[in-house]
Structure formats: structure tokens, C-alpha cells
Structure 1
């Protein structure tokens, strides 16, 4: 298998963490989807990463689909429960984490890519409202549990950890650690796992 991605994307990081937790061998191919010479559309018509390329040349995207597929390949470190309700709850956690990330990425692009005179403060505030609202619900649902789903490490934790890591990377001014100490404890615990240590966001 080959994973096409970048070192900065939290969505790519999610796929890389799952690959590491599942102990699956793969080739990692760096791709800058923003570069004029990017070839990502040859693998993913949406022009996004991560993109998983199978041995037969077929491709799979996005991160949620990739993570769910990878979890079926080996019984090592099962990240999605077999029980339908528990499985759905994990996917809701993942959707919440990805939703916070989606909004944060849009806010980041608004502030860093769009010329100042074209930026919309209302648009930025709307996205950041989603970020802060999502973080509050994450913290409330986590409570004092060791992991998102209780005592078991799941894909929910992977998704939440990748989102929190990206917020620290791109929005260091958001003090979510002080606001939500239980999320900080979870993130610190996840950050000790080799899968997270080896995939810390970086620009190069």
C-alpha cells in the first residue's frame, strides 16, 4: 500500500496513526496539494490528502474511509468496536473531531491565504465558533474517562488527538489546554504513544 499525504495535515496524520497502530507496512509519498505541479488529482479527483493507493492501483479516500478500511485488515489494536451502537458512537466522536478540524482549517486558510482586504471577520468568527463549540462538547463527553469511549482506546481517540495536535500546531493562541484540562490529559497520554510521537505535525 501507498499513502499519499503531507506532514502538516491532521487527516493524513490520522491515517498514519492507524497504520502504525495496526502495524501495517506502507510507503509514504509526500504531496503538496497546493503546489501548481501537484499530481494528486490523478489519484483523488477531489485533490485532497490522504489518499490510499492499493496494490492493484485502486485508490481510497477520505481519512474516515481509510481508517475504517485499515481497521479490518488485521486484528491488531482493534479501533472500531463490533457492537453497532458502540461503533456508531466512535464514528460520532470521529465526526465531531473532524468537524472541529474542518472549521479550524477554513479559519486558518482565511487568515493566512486570503489577502487582508478580502478576509471576512464574520466568516472567521463563524468557523471559530464551531471550533470552540466542538471542543466544549468533546470535553463534556470525555468527562473523567481515560479514553473517549471509556477504558478502551479507539479510533475516537485517534481522531480527537490528531485534531488537538493540529490546533496546537496552527493555532497556538487557542488555550484549549487550560479551558479543558481533561482534553489536555488525554492528549498528553496519546502523545506518549509511538504512533503519535512519529507523526507530530511539521512543515518539512
Structure 2
């Protein structure tokens, strides 16, 4: 069963002088419990597509069904709830809050979703162990390495038990050693918790680890 299905998606940016079509009539699907990758050069529209799936941008035409929700027809309030409960987001930058500890950063989405502090921190404790950083839980982001910060971001993306993980160049800012560590943890957690993964990357080595692959070029998406 597909957890994500996209039909004839089109995204056009209007600059005033002209309309620029970024994505051309895209069709794709992500099977539940599987990992899918979208590769493509910088500027090919990969991040734009992920933002549309995450309900962070509006499509120009077409349909997006994600985790059972018709993203293309939902209100901003409904999209906010969808982002809180149904998807986990991992970006190229970790976006950790500097004044909160590693453990507190993991727990923040759970607190926003309405979990009490004790339950949110218990879940965060479980996840920080999964990413191998239990001994760093009281450290602030400035006291962590780049690879450690990204591992905390991975844990944070899972704290609300989402159905779908959207990962946008999750190893893009890391060196080779830390990239491999983050990759291994990402795929291990997705498998252990039975999540679906949609990964956007230009890292072809990372792309080889998925169940299904697409390539985006010139706004056109093709299955590989």
C-alpha cells in the first residue's frame, strides 16, 4: 500500500515578468515501509518537491496524498497537524535550538504535539540511546560535533512516531566519516521502527541503499 502518491503535480513560480515552471506534471509513489530516493543536481527542484509533500508550500496543480491525507486540499491548520503527527523532517542543517540540551531538542516536537513533559522526555531518552548519544544528552548544540548534531536531528524526527520520514540532503554538511555514521543510523532506525522514508540527495552512494529510486532533472521526474 502506498503511503505517498503524487498525480500530475506542477509547481510554477511567478516572478512578475514571467512564470517559471519548476516541476512538470510529476507522478510518483512511495510504498509503506519502504525507502525511496530522489536524486538530482542542485537546483533541479528536489527540495521544492519535498516542501510540497511536507505541506510547507502550495502546489500549482495536481494532487498529493500523503499518510492518507489529501495535502492539496487541506487548510493551514490541517497541514500543521499533519506535520506534527504524520511526518518527520530531517534537513541538511540540523536546526537545533541553541538554548536547549540535546535531550530537550529531541523532545520539543512531542511537547508541541501536546505530550506532557515527562512522557516527551522519556521518549527522547529512548531515541537518544538509539543514535548512540545518551552520554551527550545534557550537552548543548554548541558542545556537539556536526555529526552528533545531525544524529540528534534524526532522533527528533522520530519522537512523534510519524509514518513518513522526509529527509532533505541529511548528510550534505558532513564529512565522509560522519556521513556514513548518519546514513547507517538513518536506515537502521527506519527499518527498526517500520517507517517509510523519502530521501532527497545528490549522494549516489547513499542513493544505492534504497528500495526505489527516481531522478529529477529539468523539473521532470523519472523512475530509475
Name whichever structure is richer in strand by fraction: 2
Pick 1 or 2: higher relative contact order, CA cutoff 8 A, min separation 6. 2
- TM-score, length-normalised on structure 2? 0.35
Name whichever structure is richer in helix by fraction: 1
